[in-house]
Amino acid sequence: MCIYCNLVLVVLVLALNSQAHAGRIIGGHESENKSRPYMVYVEGYDENNDGNNVNFTCGGFLVREDFVMTAAHCKAKSYNVCFGMNRLDDNGMKCSSVKEHFPHEDYNEKTLTNDIMLLKLSNRAACKKRMKPIAMADKADNSPKMCLVIGWGITDNGKTSSKLMEVNVTLTDDEMCTEEKAFYSKGKKGPAGGDSGGPLVCENGKAYGVISGHQEDLTKYTKIPEYMDWIKEIMQPKSALD
């Protein structure tokens, strides 16, 4: 049993409970305009005990014109997703509601295992320079070392940024954690709770992981190659008219 990974999961669960949707890219810099056309801003809406809508935000990324990938802990009753922008006040951005969501059926909110979800958009994203899906890594791709995480949220100054930010991270070499179907990175630089659902983009420009949780200098990413069969099954058209 991977004792190190189990301790990691305990820390990350506590982090998400205390920092849920707080969100920040720490130690990063602003993304070049139009350089991350797959990035998606996900707003989730639920009802509290008073029947009022409560919204939160997560990251996400286009994996097909009609599908967005994000984290399962970003599940909500309804969503509004926006893409095609670097700044959240960009008049050129496009938004869509979500037709159906697909959190992984084995997602465990206590351990954060299988923390991955697909959102089927009500309106397809038009493929152009500002909006373009990212390729996903599969098991045939080499294990990455240097990667990039991207998102909107609170930065080093503790204030929310309307600009898309990014930072490089180095993945750990602890092979024991493969049983958790996750990558891990260490260091002060990186994402936090509200950046959950954003991509881990590695050397070949493919999405290798989904940002799952962050606490101090430790970050977990759900490993996309381990879920490719599930992803293909969800995204396969149910009919010629779908």
DSSP letter at 197?
T
Structural fold of domain 3-30+134-226: Thrombin, subunit H (2.40.10)
Sign of CA dihedral 164, 138, 132, 54: negative
Domain boundaries along the sequence of the chain: 3-30+134-226, 39-133+229-235
Predicted local confidence at residue 213, as pLDDT = 83
**Predicted structure pTM score:** 0.84
Would you list the DSSP string of 202-215?
ETTS-EEEEEEEEE
CA-CA distance, 114 to 106, in Å (whole number)? 6
Predicted local confidence at residue 34, as pLDDT = 80
By residue count, the chain amounts to 242
> Residues of the chain whose pLDDT is less than 50?
1-24, 240-241
Predicted local confidence at residue 6, as pLDDT = 46
Predicted local confidence at residue 31, as pLDDT = 79
Closest CA to 227 of 242, 212, 205: 212
Predicted local confidence at residue 19, as pLDDT = 38
Predicted local confidence at residue 234, as pLDDT = 96
Same CATH topology for 3-30+134-226 and 39-133+229-235?
Answer: yes
131 forms bridges with which residues in the sheet?
128
Would you give the distance in Å from CA 84 to the centre of its chain? 16
Predicted local confidence at residue 3, as pLDDT = 36
Neighbour tally for 4: CB within 10 Å: 14
Name the residues annotated as catalytic: 73, 115, 196
CATH of domain 39-133+229-235: 2.40.10.10
CA-CA distance, 153 to 182, in Å (whole number)? 23
